[in-house]
């Protein structure tokens, strides 16, 4: 399969879980009707981004795998004949939780899962309180539409994660995301943050010669603790080709379903003229496993 049509569902979320799920399902249906063979949802799309504060009550939102979300979206994948990348708050055991993406094959079965490896702990993003770092490594998930290098949000800032997925044979990189602006930041600072976010991911496409799919939520969400100003999620979901070119880009203030075709054969052609994997000096990279070179 050289040509692959991908759907991205960029949505806002509220405290009404079922309404959020219904919105995700409607987006998947729209993307499939427009020809999408693979549909990607944003990070934690079933609810609000609850990590703005630390609240033990939020652990009630977690669910097992398989569980309600994988059953519902698996049934939809089977009905529509599409591969779906979904995201959920995984309850692995009492007191053990992960931020997990699940890939559902077009026959409805679970093709694989990825547990978020890099966990932030910053104002408005207190994820270390909720999520145990992933333990599944950086391994692409094989599907009928290709090998999917699924990563999650904060992972997108780390070139090591993208490289390891590419080295394991990923056909494309996929980043379900929840990132936004602090409303108190200046307009100039907000644009710097957005520009950095887009640039780093386009760079992963260039450095590895494979497309990048990034799906972010949109809309304002209050900080439930009242300590912060809340978060204005900036949307801007996009697909970059294997030379970093933007193939599709969403707005930052509206819900959208993007559908774009990528030519996976271009990865082979681009890697022939930009052979970064060939020229890596692996005999001198041992220092990369250190935290810092003192």
Enzyme catalytic residues: 43, 116, 153
Residue 136 and residue 129: Cα distance in Å, rounded? 20
φ/ψ of 277, rounded to 5, equals -65, -40
Cβ neighbour number for residue 66 with a 10 Å cutoff: 12
Residue matched to tokens 């934690």: 44
Report the C-alpha gap between 18 and 83 in whole angstroms. 22
How many whole angstroms separate alpha carbon 182 and alpha carbon 160?
28
**Cα(147)–Cα(144) distance, integer angstroms:** 8
Gap between the Cα atoms of 123 and 104, Å rounded: 33
Of 68, 67, 84, residue with least CA distance to 25: 84
The rounded distance, in Å, linking the Cα atoms of 274 and 270 is: 6
Question: Would you tell me how many other CB atoms lie within 10 Å of the CB of residue 247?
Answer: 17
The number of residues in the chain equals 294
Angle at 240 between CA 126 and CA 110, to 5 degrees: 60
What is the rounded CA–CA span in Å between residue 188 and residue 177? 22
CA dihedral 265, 100, 157, 269 (to 10 degrees): -10
């Amino acid at each position: 399969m050289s040509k692959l049509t991908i759907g991205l569902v960029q949505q806002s979320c509220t405290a009404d879980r079922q309404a959020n799920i219904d919105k995700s399902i409607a987006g998947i249906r729209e993307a499939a009707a427009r020809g999408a063979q693979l549909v990607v949802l944003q990070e934690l799309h079933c609810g609000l981004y609850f990590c703005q504060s630390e609240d033990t009550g939020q652990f009630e939102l977690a669910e097992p795998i398989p569980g309600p979300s994988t059953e519902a979206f698996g049934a939809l994948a089977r009905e529509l004949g599409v591969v779906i990348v979904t995201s959920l708050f995984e309850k692995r055991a009492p007191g053990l939780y992960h931020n997990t993406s699940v890939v559902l094959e077009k026959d409805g079965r679970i093709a694989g899962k990825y547990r978020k490896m890099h966990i932030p702990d910053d104002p408005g993003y207190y994820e270390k309180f909720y999520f145990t770092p992933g333990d599944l490594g950086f391994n692409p998930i094989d599907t009928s539409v290709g090998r999917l290098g699924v990563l999650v949000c904060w992972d997108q800032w780390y070139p090591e994660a993208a490289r390891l997925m590419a080295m394991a044979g990923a056909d494309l990189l996929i980043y379900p995301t929840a990132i936004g602006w602090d409303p108190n930041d200046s307009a100039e600072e907000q644009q710097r943050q957005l520009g950095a976010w887009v640039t780093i991911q386009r760079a992963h496409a260039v450095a590895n010669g494979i497309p990048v799919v990034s799906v972010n939520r949109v809309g304002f969400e209050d900080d439930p603790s009242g300590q912060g100003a809340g978060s204005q999620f900036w949307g801007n979901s996009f697909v970059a080709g294997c030379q970093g070119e933007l193939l599709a880009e969403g707005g930052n203030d509206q819900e959208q379903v993007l559908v774009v075709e990528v030519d996976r054969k271009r990865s082979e052609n681009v890697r022939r003229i930009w052979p970064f994997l060939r020229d890596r000096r692996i005999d001198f990279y041992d220092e990369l496993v250190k935290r810092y070179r003192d």
